Structure 1
Amino acid sequence: MSVPVPRQREVLTAQPRPVAMPETGLTLLVIEDDPACAVTVPELLDDDGTRLRIRTARNLTEAARLLTEDVHCILLDLALPDRGKAAGDALDTLRQVLRLAPAHAVLALTSEGDAERATEAVRVGAQDYLFRDELNGRVLGRAIRYAVERKRADLAQRQLSESRLRAQENARLERGLLPTPLLDGSNLRFAARYRPGRSRALLGGDFYDAVRTADGTVHAMIGDVCGHGPDEAALGVELRIAWRALTFAGLCGDRLLDTLQQVLEHERADDEIFATLCTIDIAPDGRRAGVCLAGHPSPLAMRPGQPPRLLPYEESGPALGLLPNARWPRRQVELGDSWSLMMYTDGLIEGRVGQGSRQRLGQEGMVDIATRQLAAGLRGESLLDAMVTEVRALNGGELTDDLAVLLLERGGGSEPRP
């Protein structure tokens, strides 16, 4: 089986938003707890002649109150009054400031003779350091602008790194949730194609599976949960896993679908959510099958020397989750010695038939495409690839709905089952 892997959706944790650089004027929050050594910046001007707006806080409590969205940078004085404090206390204060303002640029201010602590401050997380004796408006203004831009770059790089890690984790998770058909011992050939409609997702609300039970019967199903979000994708996985477990437990037809409806009703996030489903059980001799439809499009049957045709839809039941105490008749279908059965979700038939067109492809259009591709000699994997490619081309680009297509074949072909 080949499952195309589209672009992975990025899942980001909440990140601090970087402070925007102003077109004119800068606001600086100064944190200085020693009035005798207060930073004298109220008269300083930026290099464009604009006065720097200064706010002064004597402690972190005041700083938290003054730290509004229009503050562009924080200047923390690392000089400590002689109160018997350890040299590391100033860096501890810096760490508290960084936790208090994770999106703001921080400048460390110290004396020229304390360059070692200034360098350590940058290692801890400050964007830069300034010496008190060299402080003037031009130096400070440029330092603030540099610090803000560097902080923005740091936050952007951090977001990019974390989103890549999240993307890799989600990709591994979603690939693990895609099915691995269990058809050992069967002479049927299997192929599938899957494309989620959500941008950058690997998994959508469509789902499928195929297994062979101990008596030699091959069971296959395909379904579609209404909607396109992650909740619908999760529900589709739950229904697929439940179907496999119930099938191996010996349930089929109406009993199986009734139990799946109970699973859906219990697991869905909203009472309006429903799912369509098509199940097929192929007899051990491969010549006949039982088909159940729960609001789902009919499979397409293809036999050598005959035009493709849709299996009858009349004896079908409602989608799962719509009606309590619903029933789903099982229809017996004669397949013969050599055949192909294609099961699909409505994403294959609801695309447009021309860019900007309102006309849908529909089942008739799908049958026409299959007829042409079969006439060209395509089977199995090649047939599915050609059909999905032509449907996308007619639509004028990527399909917006989830798409799943499953193909089972017996006889008359040489492509091995993956």
Structure 2
Amino acid sequence: MPVPVPRQREIPAPESGQALPQAAAPPQLTAATAAAAAPSLTLLVIEDDPAGGLTVPEILDADGHRIRLRTARNLTEAARLLTPDVHCVLLDLSLPGGPGAGPARAADPTDRLDTLREVLRIAPRHAVLVLTCEGDAERAAEAVRVGAQDFLFRDELDGRLLSRAIRYAVERKRADTAQYKLAESKLRAQENARLERGLLPNPLLEGSDLRFAARYHAGRSRALLGGDFYDTVRTPDGTVHAMIGDVCGHGPDEAALGVELRIAWRALTLAGLCGDDLLATLQEVLEVERPCEEIFATLCTVDIAPDGRRAGLCLAGHPAPLISRPGRPARLLPYENSGPALGLLPRARWPRRQVELGGTWSLMLYTDGLIEGRIGEGRERLGQDGMVEMINRHLDAGLSGEGLLEASVSEARRLNGGELTDDVAVVLLSRAGG
């Protein structure tokens, strides 16, 4: 039995120059006219008998609006009529399968669900109802398992039942879509978190008496990894090498470049490069890997002698580290004669400066995200002087290690009046006694 399809009555538009009825243009928008102006649901019926017609004159939605109808005799017509304003599809399971199938092709029961699968493929965002005979309940239930929102029996079909089924199918499709997007978003966030955590370094300090602590905060919303990067390794001769850097920008390309530079630094350091030779090679890596010529990176490298009492310092446009010793206020290491940021000048040089550390000390490397936050509501920045003062307050309060870094980053955010917009990385190396 063919699926009967209701014919929508068209309301003729007024001819040019003809006045609208008085009720059509009231001085104020009433509740009734607002409801009439609301968009109604649109149903696409896929059936192969163009002469069919429902026994009810019209189908109404929950607000009393007429449900608009479109008909397609095969899947080819259905694909053409599936515009964004269609809310629901009603498919007759007796429709022969195949994209171009129509009345001339005999119905094959084995391909009825294949027809449904094709409809679900071409209408992934639409609610789908299937229509079948009461004796085919098993196939109707299978259709729901395949992906239809609900099924209807042809012999029980009337306007009220169909209207309710359409509303239910549309709302269920919306709920399913929202749930799918939520699950997809959670899965993507979990995958990104695992990936970004995996890209953060594990310090290689086995055999060293130095203590290591780090804090990292990405400026990008919902990101764990930004353009800042750091690493610490101990080479076979006992020297501890530490590095911190900052790629200009905050996007995923900058984050990826930061990871590449960090990995290159570790490989080159373990291969024996240090100081100017190391930075010159890293600049070559940056020039090859950066997405555009305007991208540059600042860098600070420190190599601490095996006895822990002295270090070599190289700065490539990066803020100088902070050193603190017992009984003395923390201060910045010398930063005169530092070289340019990587990627700015070809054949640049980066002098290595020898620094005396002493027996007991803490050395803090950081990126400019820590010092560029604002203070209060004005335009004043925390700056290096403000950071030194802040660190000394925390040291006087007895903080060290992880606690010192956590308190410093938290206070910088508090002074900024909220989250810091730039990436922040902080590394603390400490040595006790000797």
Instruction: Indicate conservation of the 8 Å contact 1:43/1:51, yes or no.
Output: no
**SS at 2:348's partner residue?**
coil
> How far apart, CA to CA, are the structure 2 residues paired with 1:54 and 1:236?
56
Instruction: Name the counterpart of 2:400.
Output: 379
In structure 2, list runs of 5 or more residues that go unmatched: 1-36, 97-102
- The reply on whether 1:357 has 2:375 as its aligned counterpart is no
Structure-2 change in CA distance of 1:23 and 1:134 (3 Å): farther
AA aligned opposite 1:66: L
> How far apart, CA to CA, are the structure 2 residues paired with 1:103 and 1:127?
12
Aligned pairs (5 A) from 1:200-219:
200-219=222-241
> How far apart, CA to CA, are the structure 2 residues paired with 1:23 and 1:122?
31
Structure 2 counterpart of 1:109, from 127, 131, 138: 131
Instruction: Indicate conservation of the 8 Å contact 1:301/1:342, yes or no.
Output: yes
For residue 167 of structure 1, report the CA deviation from its aligned partner.
Answer: 2.1
- C-alpha distance after superposition, 1:269-304 (max 9, x if no partner): 111111100000111111111110001001011122
Instruction: Name the counterpart of 2:187.
Output: 165
Instruction: Name the counterpart of 1:296.
Output: 318
Aligned pairs (5 A) from 1:120-199:
120-199=142-221
> How far apart, CA to CA, are the structure 1 residues paired with 2:55 and 2:352?
84
Structure 1 counterpart of 2:120, from 87, 91, 98: 98
Instruction: Name the counterpart of 1:119.
Output: 141
* Count of residue correspondences: 390
Instruction: Indicate conservation of the 8 Å contact 1:42/1:53, yes or no.
Output: no
**SS at 1:88's partner residue?**
helix
Instruction: Name the counterpart of 1:69.
Output: 84
Instruction: Name the counterpart of 1:4.
Output: none
Percent sequence identity is: 77
> How far apart, CA to CA, are the structure 2 residues paired with 1:391 and 1:266?
35
Structure 1 counterpart of 2:327, from 294, 305, 311: 305
Instruction: Indicate conservation of the 8 Å contact 2:322/2:365, yes or no.
Output: yes
Instruction: Name the counterpart of 1:79.
Output: 94
> How far apart, CA to CA, are the structure 2 residues paired with 1:385 and 1:55?
63
For residue 136 of structure 1, report the CA deviation from its aligned partner.
Answer: 2.7
Structure-2 change in CA distance of 1:313 and 1:90 (3 Å): same
More relative contact order, 1 or 2 (CA 8 Å, 6+ apart) = 1
AA aligned opposite 1:69: P
> How far apart, CA to CA, are the structure 2 residues paired with 1:79 and 1:216?
79
- The reply on whether 1:263 has 2:285 as its aligned counterpart is yes
Instruction: Name the counterpart of 1:348.
Output: 370
Q: Which moved more, 1:240-249 or 1:135-144?
A: 135-144
For residue 250 of structure 1, report the CA deviation from its aligned partner.
Answer: 0.9
Aligned pairs (5 A) from 1:269-418:
269-354=291-376, 356-411=377-432
Instruction: Name the counterpart of 1:232.
Output: 254
AA aligned opposite 2:180: R
> How far apart, CA to CA, are the structure 2 residues paired with 1:23 and 1:108?
27
> How far apart, CA to CA, are the structure 1 residues paired with 2:268 and 2:233?
11
- C-alpha distance after superposition, 1:211-240 (max 9, x if no partner): 111111111000011111111111111100
Instruction: Indicate conservation of the 8 Å contact 1:27/1:54, yes or no.
Output: yes
Instruction: Indicate conservation of the 8 Å contact 2:56/2:158, yes or no.
Output: no
TM score, norm. by length of structure 2: 0.86
Q: Which moved more, 1:377-386 or 1:343-352?
A: 377-386
For residue 34 of structure 1, report the CA deviation from its aligned partner.
Answer: 3.5
In structure 1, list runs of 5 or more residues that go unmatched: 1-21, 414-418
For residue 41 of structure 1, report the CA deviation from its aligned partner.
Answer: 7.3
Q: Which moved more, 1:231-240 or 1:161-170?
A: 161-170
- C-alpha distance after superposition, 1:290-327 (max 9, x if no partner): 11000100101112222211112221111111111111
